[in-house]
Structure 1
Amino acid sequence: MVSKENSSYSKRLLHLVSWGHWFTFFNIGAALVIALIFIDAEGIAPGFIGKVFMVSNWLAHMAFLTFICFVLTVFPLTLLYPKTRVIRGAASFIFTFLLTLLVIDGFTYSQLGYHLNFDSLARIIDLVKEQMAYNSLSFTALAVMAFIAILMFELVMSNYAWKHMRELQQRKFPKVIVAILVASFVTSHLIHVWADAKLEYDVLRQDTVLPLSYPSTAKTLLTKYGLFNQDDYEQRKNSPFSIKSKIPDYPELEMKCLELEQPKQSVYIVLRDQELNTRLLKNLNTYSPIKGTTFLNYIDNSNAKDAWFNLFYSLPNVYQIEMIEKKETPLLFQLAKKHKLTTSLTVISKSSDKNNAETNLETIDQQNISPQWISNLVDHQAHHTDISKVIAEETLTTIPQGIHIFYFSGQSDYQYELFVNALLLAQQQLDIKDVIWLGSLGNKDNTTAFKTKPALLIWPGKTEQKINDLANVMDIQTTLMRYYFECRTQYKAYSNGKNLYRLDEDRMVANITEQGLIVTKKDKNLLIDQQGNFSSYSTQLETVISEDSDFPMLIDGVNLINQFSINNAETSGKEEENRENSDQ
């Protein structure tokens, strides 16, 4: 009696296991079809070896993942509870879920450049929300139809494999297909081993394409996204990060912004080369007739000289050389010139020439206080060794209306505080109060580059508040464009900045400095140096917290740095196409 029961159990189990293999076989085909989403998003690989690897890796990787999913889910369930209807039904729903997940992953990869992961869950959810907001009905309908189609496929294949198992076992084509998959597995691995040794970029650039695959190094990924020179990569050389594609022209003002009324007050941007402490800002805010907004997590990770470019252009340093060579004018200063507003830069610093209290602008540049190219943007520049002359000769209430920048280098808190107090006192005599920004600019050494600093923005009509969200030096121009000039040009059209009064909780900031590529999000700073090494720093603890690779955060950061180039390249392409059509 017992032997008959055991025999029946064994036959049923073997039958279910055999069915499971055929069921998995059909799901490998489905997974390969869905995986074409990733191939389409990536594009056909260049070079013969690259194409061979793409095909063999596509076949081998997806077949392996599908088989592993069967081994880890359906197979144990079959051993534990070998009931035909239960196993077939459970397997259908399990693979429906897995293939649906594969479709979602394909959509995520095509939009963001990386796969589903817990670290970037918030960004992925935002992406889905954006799609729902843009076209809710079609997106929802497409998602539901995809799920139903996959479920129907699973149920049909489950039933077909069960009823035609003997017939399938007699066919020859499954054996041929399995042989091809095994050969692809061996071929793809051999090619990748060879590519690792030879640094064959056409192969290594595909490391991130399929699910559960990651690049060998950060350099591979940076080369793929155009921030590292491919020739230097293949020759194992180190070179500075830079955008390899042609950087588009800087945009000009839109007509709707040219027709706006002239602002009625001035803007004072008062900066210093050292971090301001919260106590000082609190005291200064107390003296102000209008209480300002305190930004507790203001970040500026460039050195003392590159930070000027971030301030004026609201772009990462990677664009600096070309923008300066072309003598492009930031939109903020284009508008100031259009409205005939005065723009000025006044530097207060200790002179290296003891016999000459007032040094010239070339000396200022040589001292790394401010770069010479600023003279092309502002109407007036001045340099003083202390504030006495500024306050005595230029009464703050009679300075011409415009945008005025004051920069304190190597000065004590006393000098800075005395000047700001005088500026705030002058505001009490004005009917229309001015806009005042108080903060630091640049970092003298690398120790403060990953640290958040406080800043204060005093704006008439804005309520007093404290903002904990991540703010950046690139946000100053965009906020002035939006509220000072009331120009509503899209921020990403000319900058990487945001509106300081509408910051996101999950805001990310990216820049390229002399240390390498720095990506900041909340309390985490991700640094990828010129050798492609990862380091994670805490903005609060100011210490290394991890050396693990965070490729999704790196990809988001690279996309953010490329944002201006990609956005304006598309605009330039459309304009070029329109010109060609008009010529015809």
Structure 2
Amino acid sequence: MVASGNNYKDKVSQLISWGHWFSFFNIIAAMLFGTRYIVHSEWPVTLLGQLYLLLSWVGHFGFLVFGLYILIIFPASFLIPSQRLMRLFAALIATLGLTTLILDTYAYTTLDLHLSPLVWDLLLSGEKSELNARWQYLFIAVPILFLLQLVLSEWLWRKLRKITRKHVGGPIALVFGLCFLGSHLVYIWADAFLYRPVTMQRSNFPLSYPMTAKTFMEKHGLIDRNEYAKRKEEAGENHSPLIRYPIEKLSFSDQGTNQNVLIVMIDGLRSDMVSSKIMPNLASFADQNINYKNHYSTSNDNTVGIFGLFYGLPGSYLESVRAESTSPVLVSTLNKRKYQFGLFSGDHFSSPIYYQTIFEQQKLANHSSDNATPSDQLAVDNWQTWLTTTLEDDKPWFSYIELLAVQEFEEDGGYTPTFTPSLSTTAKNTKISDPGLLLKNSYRNAANYADSLVGQILAALEAQQVLDNTIIIFTSNHGTEFNETGTNSWGSNSNYSQYQLKVPLVIHWPNRDSDVIETVTSHLDVAPTLMEALLNVSTTSDKYSSGNSLFDNENTRRWVIAGDSKDIVVIQKNTTTVVDRYGNYQVYDEHYKIKDERRPKLSTLMQVMNELKRFYHPQK
């Protein structure tokens, strides 16, 4: 019995020693396959960023493979008595792990996603595509990989004593441990100080969750949480890749039409508010001009909706643009053409997107600051004064007016309500049987008030006799929901239903007939329209935008992109697909109800994913 016990102990000891070295060589294999992530991802430009890449590459794959060994192969060493059977089992596990890693590299290089429910569904969908073609190659690669694992296991078993005598296992383990620890320490510092060359690598590798320690650092006085939040708000997400916008230098056929441009952004206004009962001025104006009935914002969020309108890019590019302070090609071209700018807002342009990127070159303070309390009425009054002064100069002008009454409908706007009961007509202590009606009437009242300001704007343009030479655009950054989807969603930025994404778009374009457009359009189309029909750019719109000209009748899209840096939203006829950053997805019908057993079409998703990475710098 003693001899039997010693024999079992020796076998287990040998298997554990063999397992360590078997894991080491599989770590090297995993690192080699992992170079595909490095090649496909953006190369860090700083020495510290490159050092972090090296540390995380060595440490992360060392941790993944050794973790698999600890969880599966190490316990099996005590349970499987035969060393041959144990080595066969380990080869199977290693083959399965590396096969999964290969699949993940395919998904990452093709879709910019790691393995997730969505990726698995797409792989198993049976739809012909490049991704599926690569998946078929595994039927050849896996047997070869398994054979190599068997050869490795046999070679290590024969050379185990010789390798063990070299006493290099400890130093090798120390290197991997220091790299793993060092990568997390570097990331803790980078996250606290928003150091982009490091934080942009956060999701490069599969199952990568770098450590942060803001609470610990705040507790010990190393960072100030309020100051950190302020810096992060101004800088945006600091792990975004570098953008290439425009893709190539723009060329123009001539100096353009020199028409004036006025964009009126009515924040939070959904499309069904444009009616003769609620917004008679805007509804009448829509009847006399071009009314786009199926128009979608780029997001349900304030900032991303504005971003999409000016840049003609999906919201996924927002953080890259903010990180590099890239100006919209529309605004920069207007600057070069010596347009006069008149920028007015009901809250002095408090959103960072305005002063950080869109109008960074303009002096917003000249038009937005005032000793008086900011309001929509004050913005319109200041705009009318500016317009009178500007018309004394022969130069064309670009004006932007942001009205916030509709978005801030729950506050007392100081106007007489038209629809009751509403928040302004109901006592606070009064019991309300239908709070939804109360809120919606308050929202209608705000829209009705905003419409009165629209009337003032149109009257001023008519009085100055500039309508015949002025392009006028009325739209919104997103819509507003009152739980119409039955998901307890109120306001905006809570789901991607048509109530939060569908917004009005009414355009007055001199010498163009009035029309009602039923085809689907997007905020992405506004910038290309102005670039082509106003500024006469000859470069194709795909070089500086994801949209098409609204006047290009041949371009009928099958889907529209919305969302932000966290979610990808694909709007199609009768369906809306939402994919989060981890690859989890839901498909909704036209009423925003989940469609069971429905998966996105692979070819469509591939087109969308390509559009969402087309403007990033190509990897070398």
Q: TM-score, normalised by structure 2?
A: 0.48
Q: Which residue of structure 2 aligns with residue 326 of structure 1?
A: 333
CA distance in 2, matches of 1:248, 1:282: 41
CA distance in 1, matches of 2:578, 2:615: 24
Superposition deviation, residue 69 in structure 1? 0.5
Residue pairs, 1:266-277, within 5 angstroms? 275-276=269-270
Superposition deviation, residue 82 in structure 1? 3.5
Residue pairs, 1:500-579, within 5 angstroms? 501-504=556-559, 507-510=561-564, 521=569, 563-564=614-615, 566=617
Counterpart amino acid of residue 474 in structure 1: L
Distance 1:363 1:280, change over 3 A: same
Distance 1:375 1:86, change over 3 A: farther
Superposition deviation, residue 456 in structure 1? 9.0
SS in 2 for 1:326: helix
User: Is contact 1:77–1:87 with CA below 8 Å preserved after alignment?
Assistant: yes
* Higher RCO (C-alpha under 8 Å, 6+ residues apart): 2
CA distance in 1, matches of 2:89, 2:538: 54
CA distance in 1, matches of 2:480, 2:389: 19
User: Is contact 1:293–1:456 with CA below 8 Å preserved after alignment?
Assistant: yes
User: Is contact 1:300–1:449 with CA below 8 Å preserved after alignment?
Assistant: no
Counterpart amino acid of residue 326 in structure 1: T
SS in 2 for 1:25: helix
Distance 1:103 1:489, change over 3 A: farther
CA shift digits 1:221-279 (9 cap, x unpaired): xxxxxxxxxxx99x968635599878548865799xx9xxxxxxxxxx99977734659
Superposition deviation, residue 154 in structure 1? 0.9
User: Is contact 2:478–2:502 with CA below 8 Å preserved after alignment?
Assistant: no
Distance 1:353 1:158, change over 3 A: closer
Q: 1:453 aligns with which of 487, 499, 502?
A: 502
Q: Which residue of structure 2 aligns with residue 156 of structure 1?
A: 151
Q: Which residue of structure 2 aligns with residue 43 of structure 1?
A: 43
Q: Which residue of structure 2 aligns with residue 222 of structure 1?
A: none
CA distance in 2, matches of 1:301, 1:144: 44
Q: 1:474 aligns with which of 506, 524, 542?
A: 524
CA distance in 2, matches of 1:150, 1:499: 51
SS in 2 for 1:411: helix
User: Is contact 1:303–1:442 with CA below 8 Å preserved after alignment?
Assistant: yes
Superposition deviation, residue 147 in structure 1? 3.6
Structure 2: runs of 5 or more not aligned: 215-226, 255-262, 278-282, 338-375, 400-446, 456-471, 482-489, 494-499, 507-512, 551-555, 570-575, 582-589, 593-606
SS in 2 for 1:116: coil
CA shift digits 1:116-143 (9 cap, x unpaired): 153763898699989718xx87x56865
SS in 1 for 2:451: coil
SS in 2 for 1:211: coil
User: Is contact 2:298–2:524 with CA below 8 Å preserved after alignment?
Assistant: no
Q: Which residue of structure 2 aligns with residue 314 of structure 1?
A: 312
1:91 maps to 2:83 = no
Distance 1:310 1:106, change over 3 A: closer
Residue pairs, 1:223-302, within 5 angstroms? 239=234, 247-248=245-246, 275-276=269-270, 278=272, 295=294
Q: Which residue of structure 2 aligns with residue 62 of structure 1?
A: 61
Superposition deviation, residue 460 in structure 1? 13
User: Is contact 2:297–2:478 with CA below 8 Å preserved after alignment?
Assistant: no
Q: Which residue of structure 1 aligns with residue 433 of structure 2?
A: none
CA shift digits 1:44-78 (9 cap, x unpaired): 6632x555544444333322221110111223334
Residue pairs, 1:293-372, within 5 angstroms? 295=294, 310-311=308-309, 314-315=312-313, 320=327, 323-327=330-334, 362=387
CA distance in 1, matches of 2:266, 2:196: 45
User: Is contact 2:107–2:119 with CA below 8 Å preserved after alignment?
Assistant: no
Superposition deviation, residue 199 in structure 1? 6.6
Superposition deviation, residue 27 in structure 1? 1.2
Distance 1:79 1:216, change over 3 A: closer
Superposition deviation, residue 149 in structure 1? 4.2
1:180 maps to 2:175 = yes
More moved, 292-301 vs 20-29: 292-301
User: Is contact 1:303–1:444 with CA below 8 Å preserved after alignment?
Assistant: no
Counterpart amino acid of residue 151 in structure 1: F
CA distance in 2, matches of 1:353, 1:42: 43
Q: Which residue of structure 2 aligns with residue 425 of structure 1?
A: none
CA distance in 2, matches of 1:560, 1:68: 37
1:410 maps to 2:450 = yes
CA shift digits 1:480-506 (9 cap, x unpaired): 999xxxx9997642313379953448x
User: Is contact 1:204–1:215 with CA below 8 Å preserved after alignment?
Assistant: no
Q: 2:114 aligns with which of 116, 141, 148?
A: 116
Distance 1:563 1:122, change over 3 A: farther
CA distance in 1, matches of 2:129, 2:395: 42
Superposition deviation, residue 104 in structure 1? 3.3
User: Is contact 1:281–1:455 with CA below 8 Å preserved after alignment?
Assistant: no
Superposition deviation, residue 157 in structure 1? 0.8
Superposition deviation, residue 324 in structure 1? 1.7
Q: Which residue of structure 1 aligns with residue 162 of structure 2?
A: 167
CA distance in 1, matches of 2:3, 2:530: 85
User: Is contact 1:303–1:443 with CA below 8 Å preserved after alignment?
Assistant: yes
CA distance in 2, matches of 1:559, 1:99: 27
CA distance in 2, matches of 1:492, 1:561: 12
User: Is contact 2:269–2:504 with CA below 8 Å preserved after alignment?
Assistant: no
CA distance in 2, matches of 1:123, 1:489: 38
Q: Which residue of structure 2 aligns with residue 266 of structure 1?
A: none
User: Is contact 2:296–2:523 with CA below 8 Å preserved after alignment?
Assistant: no
Distance 1:476 1:54, change over 3 A: closer
Superposition deviation, residue 455 in structure 1? 5.8
CA shift digits 1:518-537 (9 cap, x unpaired): 8563687999xxxxxxxxxx
CA distance in 2, matches of 1:559, 1:410: 39
Q: What is the RMSD computed on CA atoms of the aligned residues?
A: 6.9
SS in 1 for 2:563: strand
Count of matched residue positions in the alignment of Structure 1 and Structure 2: 431
Q: 2:476 aligns with which of 427, 441, 449?
A: 441
Superposition deviation, residue 24 in structure 1? 1.5
CA shift digits 1:278-336 (9 cap, x unpaired): 5978999xxx9xxx9964965555769x9788547634786556642432799xxxxxx
CA distance in 1, matches of 2:549, 2:144: 43
Superposition deviation, residue 99 in structure 1? 1.4
